[in-house]
């Protein structure tokens, strides 16, 4: 009975827009059934012309089943700026990487802060990355085609001490899937059907 009462109290504990009770319940469910932690995400991309393509993001497999929670699939336009021979119809892929990194670090930071009971008034981040396009163009095999460096700056407004906010930023880096993808090699298999 005490556990049920505690769960009811925790469920109402919303910090930074995050239901901390639901977070703890999710973690407990995954501890009991680790297979619930396995997610499988998918994207389908179609090329139009030049650098312009569109990715469609629809349902995914997670928490043990195929999800159907999205009313409509998300559509993500991709292009390049004119300086890279694109039509400038949308951000380019490396800009999406920065955006994904910003969003994922922010989510992980807010989740970590909320779990610790740290209230945040505002969180902003600025990201910059350096690419030498000679790698992309195949002009120099010694230059990688991706980012040589990415810099992230957070601005956080909170009554929490700076040390606590620094800990939340550190935890965000440890727990962000996109930060992990960007900073560690991920096996990628590519095939032609």
* Closest to 99 in 3D by CA, of 77, 120, 128, 133: 128
Tens digits of residue pLDDT in 58-84: 999 998 889 888 889 999 999 999 999
> Which pLDDT score, from 0 to 100, does residue 12 have?
66
Torsion angle in degrees (nearest 10) through CA of 177, 80, 131, 176: -10
Q: Which helix (H) or strand (E) holds 103?
A: helix 93-115
In the three-class reduction of DSSP (H, G, I as helix; E, B as strand; rest coil), residue 144 is classed as coil
Domains belonging to the chain, first-starting first, are 1-35 (no CATH), 38-90 (no CATH), 92-193 (3.30.300.20)
pLDDT at position 2 = 43
Question: Which residue positions in the chain have pLDDT lower than 70?
Answer: 1-12
**Which pTM value belongs to this model?**
0.89
Place of tokens 């292009």: 79
- What burial letters (b/e) apply to 85-102, b meaning 16+ CB within 10 Å? ebeeebbbebeebbebbb
Do 147 and 94 meet the contact criterion of CB atoms below 8 Å apart?
yes
């Amino acid at each position: 009975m005490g556990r049920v009462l505690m769960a009811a109290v925790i469920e109402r504990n919303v910090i930074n827009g995050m239901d901390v009770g639901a977070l703890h319940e999710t973690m407990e469910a995954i501890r009991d059934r680790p297979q619930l932690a396995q997610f499988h995400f998918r994207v389908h991309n179609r090329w139009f012309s030049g650098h312009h393509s569109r990715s469609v993001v629809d349902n995914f497999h997670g928490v043990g089943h195929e999800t159907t929670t999205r009313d409509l699939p998300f559509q993500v336009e991709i292009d390049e700026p004119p300086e890279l021979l694109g039509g400038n119809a949308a951000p380019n892929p490396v800009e999406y990487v920065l955006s994904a990194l910003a969003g994922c670090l922010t989510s992980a930071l807010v989740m970590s802060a909320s779990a610790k009971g740290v209230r945040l008034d505002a969180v902003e981040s600025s990201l910059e990355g350096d690419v030498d396009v000679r790698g992309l163009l195949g002009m120099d095999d010694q230059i990688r085609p991706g980012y040589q460096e990415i810099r992230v700056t957070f601005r956080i407004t909170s009554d929490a001490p700076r040390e606590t906010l620094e800990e939340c930023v550190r935890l965000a880096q440890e727990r962000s899937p996109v930060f992990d993808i960007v900073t560690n090699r991920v096996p990628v298999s590519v095939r032609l059907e």
